[in-house]
Copies of this chain bind each other. A is one copy, B any other.
């Protein structure tokens, strides 16, 4: 064992460092690509995280933070690096019901944090498909989006304070609990969404919200793309402040999730151009139901909506969400690549047509299913791979047409390693240079999640 690992063992205790086959075994048991780490480190405290980084910094050793390891862009790929797992730091440390805040350690699973808030009759609004595995540290460091961004914003909007450890081991304790605090630079923003490249998040303070009482859910059919945006604006206005989801599905997606072997069955007849899952969260069961029904009746009468079904029970609500969440069906006909882009709603129809056209011209048999959080400008494109070694060709088809439309190659999944070659499609040279300035200032030796998000130089590339 080399000196660095010996020092780390002295710091953590031998039982909290995995090396060799033990480390690769753990890494390879994940369904995401993690590589073979030099060692897996499992600190129990912020002080231990600080000690690890101090040693790694002195040695110039790469450190890759690990949360739930279910990210989609290889952000936790740790081949040859020290994997710093926060899985022993899982406590919900404090909930202040009066102030409506909670303090959580980075390794706490999102679902557990949400449950702890709910137990105090409060609401942590961050919610995504990976809720049972994603950790607070991962959710914060990737600025996770998810299902309720329309109403509550991205993860960034729920974070009041953070504790993070810099590359050299300095602990930045910025555990603000206040909604308003303009006392100097808002340092937490550096660590939110920077994917562990500027610091390791160890604790977060969240702003909690009143727990919603009512959940109104409906499934709509819409026949023209041009109706979607007016419908969204109209619902935002008439359901003021309570509209929490506006999820649009293109017909290929609806077909997949409502036909065997999928468990789901159609809610409205097939054949419409778009299907929309709409949800509002409110304070009053009876009044909210009446308002929701009235608003959807108006939408039907206005012609924006062709058909609609309102869920009348929790079972019906669950059934609607289950269709939307059954994304796994998109993989049933063979290998796929999942994309996560955002662009102005006005540009979406032409964008989807352009990608579909390019794909069909190259591989007439390739399938493409489209769905997304349209209220946030966020589309997921799932493209079937019909020929090996064509990933970059497909990526170019999807990312290329975003350039002229001021779109983003990553709405919510982040950049990691996978999207790094395309970052310049969404960000200009001055922005990339400023990102490098920040990276160099905060991590001069380039040890933190090296090669992720922005390539600094060849030495730091792990791919």
Q: Which residues of A contact B (CB under 8 A)?
A: 96, 98-100, 142-143, 145, 149, 151, 153-154, 156-157, 166, 170-174, 176-187, 189-190, 192-194, 198, 209-213, 229, 233, 236-242, 281-284, 287, 291, 342-346, 373, 376-378, 406-415, 419, 423, 426-428, 430-435, 437-438, 440-442, 453-454
Contact = CB atoms under 8 A, between A and B. Distances in A.
B373 A184 contact: no
A209 B232 CA distance: 12
A157 B210 CA distance: 19
Contacts of A100: 233
A400 to B, nearest CB: 15
26 contacts: A96-B346, A99-B345, A142-B182, A143-B186, A145-B180, A151-B241, A153-B157, A173-B431, A177-B406, A178-B342, A178-B408, A179-B378, A180-B376, A181-B408, A181-B410, A182-B408, A182-B413, A183-B408, A183-B423, A209-B236, A212-B240, A237-B283, A241-B242, A434-B442, A438-B438, A441-B441
Nearest to A210: B237
Contacts of A239: 283
Given A210-B233, A291-B287, A441-B441, A193 B186 contact: yes
A156 B189 CA distance: 11
Given A242-B240, A291-B287, A434 B166 contact: yes
A378 to B, nearest CB: 5
Given A183-B426, A210-B236, 6 more contacts: A98-B344, A143-B182, A173-B430, A176-B406, A184-B432, A185-B434
A185 B376 contact: no
Task: Point out which of A142, A187, A229, A345 has the most chain B C-beta atoms below 10 A from its C-beta.
Answer: A187
A453 B209 CA distance: 32
A411 B229 contact: no
Contacts of A415: 182-184
Given A345-B99, A438-B441, A149 B180 contact: yes
A432 B337 CA distance: 44
A203 to B, nearest CB: 14
Main secondary structure of the interface of A (DSSP, over half): loop
A452 B229 CA distance: 44
A410 B173 contact: no
Given A96-B344, A210-B237, A441-B437, A410 B183 contact: yes
A114 to B, nearest CB: 18
A193 B187 contact: no
A216 to B, nearest CB: 12
A381 to B, nearest CB: 15
Nearest to A181: B408
Contact of A182 (B98, B213, B410): B410
Contact of A376 (B179, B409, B433): B179
Contacts of A237: 210-211, 213, 283
B238 A241 contact: no
Given A98-B345, A179-B377, A434-B172, A240 B186 contact: no
Contacts of A212: 240
Given A284-B238, A344-B99, A412 B173 contact: no
A377 B98 CA distance: 11
Given A346-B98, A412-B180, A174 B241 contact: no
Given A184-B427, A240-B282, A179 B346 contact: no
Contacts of A409: 183
Contacts of A190: 189
Contacts of A345: 98-99
Nearest to A422: B183
Nearest to A154: B180
Nearest to A291: B287
Contacts of A344: 96, 98-99, 177-178
Nearest to A426: B183
A197 to B, nearest CB: 8
Nearest to A173: B428
Nearest to A442: B437
Nearest to A283: B240
